[in-house]
Amino acid sequence: MIPAAAHHARWDNLTSKCSMANVEVDFNHVETKDEAADELSSLSSGCSIPVVHLSADVLDSGSLNLLTEETCQSSIFTELPVLSEGEQDTLAATPVHPAGLHALYASYVFGNLVEQLWNFAWPAALAILHPSLLPVAVVGFFTKLSIFIGAPIVGRLMDHFPRLPTYQSLNAIQATTQLLSAAMIIYALKNVKHISTSAVLLQPWFIVLVVAGAIERLCGLALGVTVERDWIVLLAGADRPVALAQANAVLNRVDLLCEVAGASVFGFLLSKFDPVTCLKMACGLMICTLPILLILGQIINILSSRALDRYRVPCDKSAAADILLDARKIVENGLETIKHGWKEYKHQPVLPASVATVLLYFNVALAPGAIMTALLMHHGISPSIIGCFSGLCSLMGFTATFISSSLVKRLGILKAGAAGLIFQALLLTVAVAAYWTGSISQKIPLMIFLSSIVLSRLGHMSYDVVGTQILQTGIPISKANLIGTTEVSIASLAEFLMLGVAIIANDVSHFGFLALLSVSSVAGASWMFCRWLANPTEEQRKLFVFDWQFEAID
C-alpha cells in the first residue's frame, strides 16, 4: 500500500508540472492582481495554485499551444517495447524471484522430509505395538474426517492472516503435535502389554494420539496448500507459465524423493535399533528442523523483496477474528465457512480442472497401494516383484516431473493437461482388458497388467503437475487457500467413498468391479477436461491468454 502522504506528494508534483494545450482564453474580462488575490484568499491555505502572468506579446503570439504535434510524436508513451518471440520465451521461463524460489525449495526439502518420515513412522510403530490394523485404521479415519470438515475453515483463516506468521505458526503446531504423538506411542510401547484391540481404542494415550494426529495432518495440508497454491505463484510468477511449470515439477520431485527417503531412513533405523530409540531419533530430527524452517521462511521473504508481506485481501484481521475468537459462535461460523468454501469452490473459473483432479482420487484399485498389494499377494506374486512394481511407479512419477514442463512448452498448459489425462485413461483401459481377458497369475498377462499401470503413472503425475498450474493460474490469489483446502477436502471424501466400496466388496474376486470403477473415474476426468477445453469461455481466454496454443482450441 502507498501511504497517504506519498499520494499527496505525487499529486502535488503532478499538478505543478502539468501542461495545457489548445486552451481557449477569454480576454474580455481580465482581473487585476488585487481581484485575483481576493478570490484566492477564499481557498484553503493548504492548496497551492500557481499564478501565471501573461504579457501582451505573449498573448499575441501563438505560443499558447504548448504541446505541438512534434512533441506529441516524440513522447515516450508512443514508443512501447515489443519483445521478440525468443525474448518472450525467455521471459516465460524466468521466475520473478529466482533467489526466493530456491530458498523455498530448501524449505520444502526440510519440511517434507520430516513429514514423510513421520507418515511412515507412526503407522509402523502402531503396527509393532498391536498386530491388528484397527488402531491404524481408526487414526486414519479421523484424519480423513478432520480434513473433510476442517480444511475449508483452515483455508479461510489462511486467506485472512499474513502469510509469513501463518506459515511459522503452522510449522510450530505441526512439530508440536508430531512430538506429542511420538510421546504417546513411546509411552504405549513401554507400558502397554497384551491388551485387546477394543481396549486400545479407549486408552487415554490413544485418544490423545488421534486428536494430535488429526491436527498434525490439518497443519501439513495447510502448509502444502500454502506452498503449492500461493507462495510458488508469487515467486515464480502466474504470468510466466514455463517458470511456474518448472517450479511445480521441482516441488513434485522433492515430494517423491522425500517420500522414498523418509520411509527408507526410518526403515533402516528400525532394522538397527528398537522402536523407542527410533522414535526418539525422529523427535530429535523434528526439534532440529523447526528453527531451520522458521529461519528459511524469513530468508524467502527477504530474497523475494518482501513479497510475502502483502495481504491477499483487505480487512483481513477483523474477518479472521470473527471466525477464530468468537467461541460462542464457533460452530455456526465453522459451518458457514465450510458452506462458503464449497460455494467458492463451485464458482471458481477452472472448476472442471479441479473436478478432474478430484475424480482421479477415486482410482484406488489401479494404482500402487494397499488394494493392489493385497491382490498381487493373493495371486501368489513374489514380494520382490511387488516391491519392484512400487519402485517403478515412483520412478515414473519422478520422470513425469521432467516431462510436464516440456509438455507445457510444446503444447501449452491446457493441452498438456489433456494429454496427461488421456494417456493415463488409455493405459488403464489396457490394464483392465489384460485383467479381464487372462489370469494375472500367468506371466504375460501379469506383465501387461503391471506395465500398463506403471506407464499410466506418467500421465497421472504429468497432469498432477500441470493441473496444479492450471489451478494456480485460474484461482484468485485472495481465495487460493480456501479453494485449495476445499478441493483437498472433497478429494478426501472421494477416497473415503472408494475405500467404503472396497470394504463392502472385500473379496479379491470383486477386484474387477473396483478396477472398472477406477478406470471409469479416470476416463470421466479426461472427458470432463477435454469438453471444457473444447468449449472455452471468455473468462477462460482471459486467464490463459499467455498460452501460445490457446487459439488452436477452437
Gap between the Cα atoms of 97 and 238, Å rounded: 12
Whether the domain at 93-312 and the domain at 348-553 fall into the same CATH topology? yes
| Per-residue pLDDT reduced to its tens digit, 195-229 | 777 778 888 999 999 999 999 999 998 899 889 88
Contacts of 235 (CB under 8 A, 6+ apart): 95, 96, 97, 100, 101, 104, 247, 300, 304, 307
Gap between the Cα atoms of 392 and 446, Å rounded: 15
Q: What average pLDDT does the segment 399-403 reach?
A: 86
**Strand blocks (E) in 143-217:** none
Q: State the Rg of the chain over Cα.
A: 31
- Confidence (pLDDT) at 432: 94
Gap between the Cα atoms of 455 and 57, Å rounded: 87
* pTM for this entry: 0.66
More confident residue, 326 or 233: 233
> Which amino acid does the sequence have at 188?
A
Q: What average pLDDT does the segment 128-139 reach?
A: 74
pLDDT band at residue 331 under the 50/70/90 scheme: low
C-alpha cell at 315: 480487512
- Confidence (pLDDT) at 330: 56
- The residue behind cell 503413472 is 457
Gap between the Cα atoms of 418 and 476, Å rounded: 23
- Comparing CA positions, the residue from 265, 266, 283, 111 lying closest to residue 184 is 283
Provide the residue count of the chain.
554
- Confidence (pLDDT) at 132: 65
According to CATH, the topology of domain 348-553 is Growth Hormone; Chain: A; (1.20.1250)
DSSP-derived secondary structure letter, 477 = G
- Comparing CA positions, the residue from 546, 543, 533 lying closest to residue 474 is 543
Gap between the Cα atoms of 25 and 545, Å rounded: 48
- Confidence (pLDDT) at 63: 41
Gap between the Cα atoms of 91 and 29, Å rounded: 59
The share of the chain scoring above pLDDT 90, in percent, equals: 28
Q: What is the dotted CATH code of the domain comprising 93-312?
A: 1.20.1250.20
Is the pLDDT at 14 greater than 50? The verdict is no
Sequence spans of domains, the chain = 93-312, 348-553
HEC profile of 304-332:
CCCHHHCCCCCCHHHHHHHHHCCHHHHHH
Question: Which range has the worst mean pLDDT, 8-12, 268-272, 323-327, 481-485?
Answer: 8-12
Spatial contact of 413 and 544, defined as CB atoms under 8 Å apart: yes
Mean pLDDT of the chain: 78
DSSP-derived secondary structure letter, 229 = I
Angle at which helix 330-346 crosses helix 480-504, to 10 degrees, equals: 90
SS3 382: coil
Residue 439: count other Cβ atoms within 10 Å of its Cβ: 9
